[in-house]
């Protein structure tokens, strides 16, 4: 990535994101229920697919499966579901990760 390309990403993403946020503030439009229903699942549809390869085949280990990363990911999921809190999930996952890295 050269400097110009990085700025294209920053400005493009900035304008695009602003327009997504402004879309329904610009004027009141009826929003069909099916579209509302699809959009409800955007985060949970994009992020897991993005994260899964990073957990299974991390770049830092040259793509080899790593028990510390797998274990930490599992604990993060479990803690998040149990505590219903992003903050506690990050904490639990981080502690597990560093403990496993140190122990293994």
Enumerate binding residues for another protein (CB under 8 A).
1, 3, 5-14, 16-18, 20-26, 28, 31, 34, 36-56, 58-60, 69, 72-73, 76-81, 83-87, 89-90, 93-94, 97, 101
How near is the Cβ of 99 to another protein at its closest, in Å? 12
How near is the Cβ of 64 to another protein at its closest, in Å? 14
Residues contacting residue 101 through CB under 8 Å, at least 6 positions apart: 68
47 or 103, CB closer to another protein? 47
How near is the Cβ of 95 to another protein at its closest, in Å? 11
> If phi over 0 gives left and psi between -120 and 50 gives alpha, with beta otherwise, what is residue 58?
beta
Residues contacting residue 21 through CB under 8 Å, at least 6 positions apart: none
Distance CA 31, CA 43 (A): 19
């Amino acid at each position: 990535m050269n400097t110009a390309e990085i700025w294209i990403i920053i400005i493009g993403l900035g304008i695009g994101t602003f327009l997504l946020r402004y879309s329904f503030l610009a004027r009141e439009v009826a929003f069909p229920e099916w579209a509302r229903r699809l959009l409800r699942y955007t985060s949970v549809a994009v992020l897991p697919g993005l994260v899964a390869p990073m957990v299974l085949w991390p770049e830092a280990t040259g793509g080899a499966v790593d028990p510390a990363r797998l274990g930490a990911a599992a604990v993060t999921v479990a803690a998040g579901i149990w505590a219903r809190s992003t903050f506690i999930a990050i904490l639990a996952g981080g502690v597990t990760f560093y403990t496993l890295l140190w122990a293994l």
